[in-house]
Amino acid sequence: MTDNSRRVARALLSVSDKTGLIEFARALTNLGVELVSTGGTARAIADAGLKVRDVSDLTGFPEMMDGRVKTLHPNVHGGLLAIRDNADHARSMKDHGILPIDLLVVNLYPFEATVDKGASEDDCIENIDIGGPAMIRAAAKNHYDVAVVVEPPDYQSVLDELAANNGATTLALRRKLAQKAYARTAAYDAAISNWFAAELKNDAPDFRAFGGKLIQALRYGENPHQHASFYKTPDRRPGVATARQLQGKELSYNNINDTDAAYECIAEFDAKRTAACVIVKHANPCGVAEGADLASAYRKALACDSTSAYGGIIAFNRTLDADAANAVAGIFTEVIIAPDATDEAIAIIGKRKNLRLLLAGGLPDPRAAGLTAKTVAGGMLVQSRDNAVVDDMTFKTVTKRAPTDAELRDLGFAFRVAKHVKSNTIIYAKDLATVGIGAGQMSRVDSARIAARKAEDAAKELGLAAPMTKGSVVASDAFFPFADGLLVAIEAGATAVVQPGGSMRDNEVIEAADAHGIAMVLTGVRHFKH
Q: Does residue 12 come out as left (phi exceeding 0), alpha (psi in the -120 to 50 range) or beta? A: beta
CA distance to 7, 197, 209, 233, 286, per residue, from 236 (Å): 41, 18, 17, 7, 28
Separation of alpha carbons 352 and 333, rounded Å = 10
CB 108, CB 98: distance < 8 Å: no
Of 180, 282, 470, 516, the active-site residue reads: 282
Amino acid at 144: Y
Residue ranges in 48-170 assigned as alpha helix (H): 55-59, 74-81, 87-96, 111-116, 121-126, 131-141, 155-164
The answer to whether 419 is a known catalytic residue is no
Q: What are phi and psi of 514, to 5 degrees?
A: -65, -40
Q: Which of 18, 141, 470, 516 is catalytic?
A: 141
Q: Which SS3 state, helix, strand or coil, does residue 140 take?
A: helix
Active site residue 141: yes
Rg (CA), the chain: 30
Residue 60: DSSP 8-state: S
Tell me which residue of 391, 395, 371 sits closest to 383, measured CA to CA.
371
Query: H-type helices in 247-376, by residue range?
Result: 253-266, 294-304, 306-309, 322-328, 343-350
What Å distances lie between residue 327 and 245, 324, 440, CA to CA?
20, 5, 30
CA distance 341 to 247: 13
Smallest CA-to-CA distance from 430 within 476, 473, 477 is with: 473
Q: Which one, of 445, 429, 434, lies nearest residue 512 by Cα?
A: 445
CA dist., res. 379 & res. 193, Å (int)? 19
Indicate the DSSP class of residue 255: H
Q: What angle do CA 469, 470, 473 make, to 5 degrees?
A: 60
Distance CA 452, CA 438 (A): 8
Amino acid (one-letter) located at 212: G
From CA 190, how far away is CA 195, in angstroms rounded?
8
By annotation, the residues acting in catalysis are: 141, 282
